Amino acid sequence: MSERLVPGDTAPAFTLPDADGNEVSLADHKGRKVIVYFYPAALTPGCTKQACDFTDNLSVLATAGYDVIGVSPDKPEKLARFREQESLKVTLVGDPSKEVLEAYGAYGEKKLYGKTVTGVIRSTVIVDEEGKVERALYNVKATGHAAKIIKDLGI
């Protein structure tokens, strides 16, 4: 099981393909705050709700200086379908190897319908302008999560 990040940690660097197959790196966002959220699978009800919530609040977050990147183990083709089908505006990247998910503590054992399974732990890590972890939230709820982050950040 991967270690969870805590405030003050250096956010693990990553470069992953987006829905169009273009590489997106955390380093591309240096100088801005980044909300990196991890979700189990594109085109599923909870993940769709979460992605739509972030899309709906993207301008509020951007105005406050935050970029948003959604990470799942999906391949770019599935992310493209997800983006088109739901008119998503957030940057979605795929991590089929699960290396980045593990580096962020967002992959491991979790409870699902009372059973212990290994999979993506719905998580959000807020990275500051210098690449340090400002907040690390694990086992978050899909519904209302974007609104909670906005409230917690005082935006």
pLDDT tens readout for residues 46-59: 899 999 999 999 99
For residues 116 and 110, is the Cβ–Cβ distance under 8 A? yes
Neighbouring residues of 11: CB distance < 8 A, sequence distance ≥ 6:
5, 26, 36, 104, 125, 127, 131, 132, 133
Side-chain-facing half-sphere of 108: CA atoms under 13 Å = 12
Whole-number average pLDDT of the chain: 94
Q: Would the pTM of this model clear 0.85, i.e. be above it?
A: yes
Q: Express each pLDDT in 79-116 by its tens digit.
A: 999 999 999 999 999 999 999 999 999 999 888 788 88
The pLDDT, as a whole number, for residue 137 is: 95
**What digits encode the pLDDT tens for the residues 59-77?**
999 999 999 999 999 999 9
Catalytic pick from 26, 47, 79, 126? Answer: 47
What pLDDT is stored for residue 1 in this prediction?
A: 47
Share of the chain above pLDDT 90, in %: 86
Which pLDDT belongs to residue 2? 61
Residue 24: predicted pLDDT: 97
Active site residue 52: no
Mean pLDDT of all residues in 39-51: 93
